[in-house]
Amino acid sequence: MPDKTYQPTVAGLRAFVALAQRRHFGAAATDLGVSQPSLSQALSALEAGLGVTLVERTTRRVLLTPDGEELLPRAIAAVDAVDEFTAAAAGAGRPLHGTIRLGVIPTVAPYVLPAVLRGLGERLPDLRPRVVEEQTARLVEQLRGGTLDVALLALPLDIPGIVEVPLYTEDFVLALPAGHTLAGKRRVDPSALADLPLLLLDEGHCLRDQALEVCALAGVRPDLGQTRAASLTTAVHCVVGGLGVTLIPQTAVASETASGDLAIATFASPRPGRRIGLAFRRSGRHDESYRELGSIIGELVAETGAVTSV
23: domain CATH number is 1.10.10.10
The reported pLDDT for the residue numbered 3 is 64
**pLDDT value of residue 284:** 59
Do 183 and 52 share a structural domain?
no
How large is the greatest C-alpha to C-alpha distance in the chain, in angstroms?
75
Query: Which CATH number fits the domain that encloses residue 199?
Result: 3.40.190.10
How many structural domains comprise the chain? 3
What value does the mean pLDDT take over residues 252-264? 91
* 55-57 and 98-104 beta bridge pairing: unpaired
Q: Would residue 2 count as lying in a domain?
A: no
Within this chain, do residues 67 and 136 fall inside the same structural domain, yes or no? no
- What is the predicted pLDDT for the residue at 57? 82
Co-location of 134 and 281 in the same domain: yes
End of a domain among 40, 69, 89?
A: 89
- Asked whether residue 279 is domain-assigned, the answer is yes
pLDDT tens string 137-193: 999 989 988 889 999 999 999 999 899 999 999 999 999 999 899 999 999 999 999
- Indicate whether 291 and 159 sit together in one domain: yes
The stretch 100-125 carries a mean pLDDT of: 95
Task: Residue 252: give the domain boundaries.
Answer: 170-273
H/E segment holding residue 197: strand 197-201
The backbone region for 293, taken as left when phi is positive above 0, alpha when psi lies in -120 to 50, beta otherwise, is alpha
- 83 and 21 share a domain? yes
Q: Predicted confidence band at 10 (pLDDT cuts at 50, 70, 90)? A: very high
Q: To the nearest whole percent, how much of the chain has pLDDT over 90?
A: 64
Domain termination residue (choose one: 54, 89, 124)? 89
Q: What is the pLDDT of residues 102-111, one digit of tens each?
A: 999 999 999 9
Vertex 30 angle, CA 25 and 36, to 5°: 45
Provide the H-helix boundaries in the chain.
Answer: 10-22, 25-32, 36-50, 66-89, 109-123, 136-145, 206-217, 232-240, 250-256, 287-302
Q: Report yes or no on 38 lying in a domain.
A: yes
Judge whether 72 lies within some domain. yes
What's the chain's average pLDDT? 89
Task: List all residues 6 or more positions away from 110 whose beta carbon is below 8 Å from its beta carbon.
Answer: 232, 233, 252, 255
Q: Do residue 21 and residue 155 come from a single domain?
A: no
Distant-in-sequence contacts of 30-36, Cβ < 8 A, 24+ apart:
31/130
Mean pLDDT check: name the lowest of 145-154, 215-224, 228-237, 254-263: 215-224
Residue 51 has pLDDT above 80, yes or no: yes
Both 131 and 14 in one domain: the answer is: no
Q: What is residue 42's three-state secondary structure?
A: helix
Long-range contacts of 298-303 (CB under 8 A, 24+ apart): 298/167, 298/168, 299/119, 300/112, 300/115, 300/116, 300/119, 300/120, 301/112, 301/115, 301/116, 301/167, 301/168, 301/251, 301/276, 302/168, 303/115, 303/119
pLDDT at 4 over 90: no
Same structural domain, 20 and 83? yes
Distance CA 232, CA 212 (A): 15
Task: Note whether 215 and 295 are same-domain residues.
Answer: no
For residue 260, is it within any domain? yes
